[in-house]
Structure 1
């Protein structure tokens, strides 16, 4: 019985001796497998103290990497056979890399460290053959760095954690009311002004507590290039999110002309220091469109991803309702109301991105008022948005807050730090089914995959992010990768048994996860109010 996570498709465990890895073990890599070759030497070799020197393809007991056109994209076959060594075949370079992640798990928790704890000791791999491939091609993690900034090293660490769980899309939430996190050279005040706030609400927005010190940070364009390259080496695509037209108070604070100047004095705005949904949204003017076209031009230079996320959610309309400028735009365009005005705004950037060979993706509110062909939807308000999108012929990524918003509390106990939203346990996540019920076979093909979202209003540092994200991300990774039975038929007890081994891997990686028995004393936040109301979702 294997303790791998995510569970592989098929495992043969014939009788026989395993294969030892030691200082004499060689590594041969076929053309096209260079990313895995580099990763094995730099990461696995460093952890176990193995040089993994280059050797011939037929070296006895060596490690071999090669591509196999008979396998599907991202699929792999890992063979560990005595007297033959270790062979990883992949349907493409990503498949070889995912096979290497499985090999790492077979080597035990020591393989997850950065240096050997028992130098010079041979490490044995049990004899087995594993055939595996993913269920979904989009296996994502959203990380919100706008509410609480995560320094670059923390982002790179999370890319490593994603790779260890065979996740392949990093949704990088870079802008919001509370901060702008990416350098845009033609608009320098986005980092000079919009990247920091004077103080921060501690806990839920109804909390009376404040952290009375500035908070901020941003990534330079070279930082972004490094992050994107680091992700690509791990076969992870980085999808940036630049929020429009709502969630934009930080940008308006830096450039007041972007706001609804005929309704409020936008020069008095600052980067928002609390949580919720700000009423300060972008004005539907030509100046705003040209400004954000300039932003997206620089974004496209930095991110090669097919999809660019534009937000599009939770756009309050009060200011548009009171704005003569907005009313004139509605009349000039022959629109019915402010909802159609938002659809026009999103449609503009959908067409703009399409003309440059990219695709727009946004939260499910972008369906309201109509959505142009080619645009995709992130379904967060339950299954409804995903069902509507698929039936309308749009691709969809399923990330319903009821299951995969990892900022939600993990247990009902009072010890949970800053309890937010629904109780969503490890088992709840494990029983999540990404494909909505009732879709036809054709509509199901529009479900690109699924994504877990980590919103950081109540996560002031990396340790808090770890606590909320793990171990639930391990359960999510299995849902996204493995071909599990129906939710009610899933073997959660078996998953928990495998997690016993996986916790040791997370320990070796230094992940500050939530222990099964509950938070450790230093993981608690006594006296910091959350919003522990079942059925009342938190705002993003």
Structure 2
């Protein structure tokens, strides 16, 4: 079998099922969405209408299967997909599309058929409930059309969470009706670095864009039809210079700032005034109207404390609240919003830097600084989404050598991503239950186009999808299946990285990078771990 991700179990049968003009498609009512998607996906490529009717392809609701589990049985007489819920049926439909061959992924007809499904019985279910990908649309804006395309790519790989990093120092990408300057001013910057920060080169080109509220409704609806949950991130209290540029009263300086044009961690953070807290509660009110999913990320990462340590109002807050230091002030600040979300029936997510000042109750921790942070959060009784940057940050270079475009970070190769295990070592059974799953991350400081996003994401995102879907670790077997899967990516128009290295047009000699060794990354991880403390 050449399926990606590999199913839990597959037993080949005898013969094939052939699709033709008389092939029908029917579904029990609870599974109708999956059947409708399959018809919409296959008709353009096959030219087959797949009318309603018994026999042919059938979706049947059954009991005894888990939320996203399915069973697919293909015989010469029919294809039967059994599931207890619509998500399980949808993943069965995705598997059926793969069984039909790469041409089934085309948007138009390139062959007359025959369209054949090998006889097989597949039993399949995911290892984790949270199988996500973060896309940073703040550093470089991803137009709506391309974001919708990525939702399809996530769904094709049975990934079910899209974490949208919507705000940062370099851009604010979400229309907020009460505060229009957030996009009028905050959605664009004068220029961007050309390559890594240390080279001090600039492209001289304005960059910007944002999603209107109707855009977001469309994106969320499109994702829901493919059983992908969109998790919005409004990063607080750091990574906020674009907001401060739009509304200077949110900052700590008596000055008007531009939207930041440099990468890296900026010094400008929100002040801790009541008015600032009220401002962002207003923002979250509109966020909650647009994103109906259970999770909302409020950031909490990479917050320099210099301005707070110099700020008289911040120092007064610390004394008034009897806090130990600015780390605890940050956790207090973030808790204003986590409590606010919980009171409205939502689940707040925050980055693992909040460990330093004490995790707010009810917070789901996005652990990016290594497995030690993930383990600490789980042991403290918090749900965890694991995303260690050395294994799952797909903006890191894919191989040694100068040929990689804007080569930054250490090498995160295909084998390392495929072998990633989200569960930290040493956790008890109860603590392991706290690990909801994992997500890969596409931070876009150095990814300035959809074409480069494809190159950095694939095929590594396919390897990640397999790591979080099942616990198989046969990399050589994966490579064999990937050779076929790349033909599916070709059919979808995905400009992935070839195994032999980038095509000439995929290189970026104009934008020098900043490669680092794995030893340097490991030393940084060790320093972070050594500095972790509880309040």
- Within the candidate set 135, 141, 148, 2:140 is matched to 148
| CA distance, structure 2, for counterparts of residue 67 and residue 180 of structure 1 | 43
Task: Spell out the pairing of 1:306-455 with structure 2 (5 A cutoff).
Answer: 306-455=294-443
Cα distance, 1:527 vs structure 2: 4.0
| Over 6 Å off, 4+ runs | none
Q: Residue 8 of structure 2 aligns with which residue? A: 9
- Within the candidate set 466, 469, 480, 1:497 is matched to 480
Cα distance, 1:321 vs structure 2: 0.6
- Within the candidate set 485, 491, 494, 1:511 is matched to 494
| CA distance, structure 2, for counterparts of residue 354 and residue 87 of structure 1 | 41
Task: Spell out the pairing of 1:183-202 with structure 2 (5 A cutoff).
Answer: 183-202=175-194
Cα distance, 1:315 vs structure 2: 0.3
| Residue 236 of structure 2 corresponds to residue 247 of structure 1 | no
Q: Residue 515 of structure 2 aligns with which residue? A: 532
Q: Residue 487 of structure 1 aligns with which residue? A: none
- Within the candidate set 93, 97, 111, 1:100 is matched to 93
Q: Residue 209 of structure 1 aligns with which residue? A: 201
Q: Is the 8 A contact 1:340 1:368 kept in 2?
A: yes
Q: Residue 23 of structure 1 aligns with which residue? A: 21
* SS at structure 2 position matched to 1:211: coil
| CA distance, structure 2, for counterparts of residue 64 and residue 513 of structure 1 | 34
Q: Residue 35 of structure 1 aligns with which residue? A: 33
| CA distance, structure 2, for counterparts of residue 133 and residue 291 of structure 1 | 43
Task: Spell out the pairing of 1:130-149 with structure 2 (5 A cutoff).
Answer: 130-149=122-141
Q: Is the 8 A contact 1:31 1:66 kept in 2?
A: no
Deviates more, 1:32-41 or 1:447-456: 32-41
Q: Is the 8 A contact 2:165 2:232 kept in 1?
A: yes
Unaligned runs of at least 5 residues, structure 2 = 526-535
Q: Residue 278 of structure 2 aligns with which residue? A: 290
RMSD over aligned CA atoms reads: 1.2
Q: Residue 76 of structure 1 aligns with which residue? A: 70
Deviates more, 1:324-333 or 1:226-235: 324-333
Cα distance, 1:356 vs structure 2: 0.5
Q: Deviations over 1:140-159 (max 9, x none)?
A: 00000000000000100000
* SS at structure 1 position matched to 2:409: coil
* SS at structure 1 position matched to 2:341: helix
Cα distance, 1:348 vs structure 2: 1.1
Q: Is the 8 A contact 2:395 2:443 kept in 1?
A: yes
TM-score by length of 2: 0.96
Cα distance, 1:207 vs structure 2: 2.2
| CA distance, structure 2, for counterparts of residue 511 and residue 210 of structure 1 | 28
Unaligned runs of at least 5 residues, structure 1 = 485-489
Q: Is the 8 A contact 1:7 1:482 kept in 2?
A: yes
Q: Residue 264 of structure 2 aligns with which residue? A: 276
| Residue 173 of structure 2 corresponds to residue 173 of structure 1 | no
Q: Is the 8 A contact 2:194 2:510 kept in 1?
A: no
Cα distance, 1:491 vs structure 2: 1.8
| CA distance, structure 1, for counterparts of residue 416 and residue 408 of structure 2 | 16
